[in-house]
Amino acid sequence: MKQADFVSLVMPFKDKVFRLAKRLLVSREEAEDATQEILLKLWKNSKKIGDYKNVEAFSMTMTKNFCLDRLKSKQAQNLKIVHSNYTDSNSSLQKQVEAKDSIGWVSKIMEDLPEQQKIIVQLRDIEEYDYAEIAKMLDMNETAIRVNLSRARKTIREKLTNTHQYGIK
């Protein structure tokens, strides 16, 4: 597999990988590193890439596992303080998003969700995969995913309603 082939294969989903990594790791820098790591891993095994049935689903699973490992590792825990103080100078989009206050609220609410629900909301509501694909990526059955998703949506909805009606009711 040549470099150009690989790039054209990876292009369509590298942003999805990045967004999932960012949802889980919060910091943009960490997410960039994670994405790079994932893409390099894919490139290293590019000879075997033909054997995978669905490269995109495979890489999303890889991303999920990699990010969860990162979160568990000591290094990430040490870095936490730095990240919470971290101000991003070039993420114009993130700033735009958070400038719209209530949208910023949603992203904050999502940070508080358990990892599993975070991943599922990211994959379903943002990346718009169907349930079968998500089930394959996460190695779960569809009912469990629906249950988790409806719980996550309920949490987001309740917290949003609370902030929305804060001081009124």
| Closer by beta carbon to another protein, 58 or else 105 | 105
| Closer by beta carbon to another protein, 53 or else 166 | 166
| Closer by beta carbon to another protein, 77 or else 161 | 161
Cβ atoms 62, 38 nearer than 8 A? yes
CA nearest neighbour of 5 among 63, 53, 67, 55: 55
| Closer by beta carbon to another protein, 81 or else 93 | 93
Q: Which helix (H) or strand (E) holds 15?
A: helix 3-25
Sign of CA dihedral 159, 108, 123, 138: negative
Residue ranges in contact with another protein by CB under 8 A: 3, 6-7, 14-15, 17-19, 22, 32, 35-36, 39-40, 43, 93-94, 97, 100, 102-103, 105-107, 125-128, 130, 145-147, 149-150, 153-154, 156-157, 160-161, 164-165
- Least separation in angstroms between residue 157's CB and another protein is 7
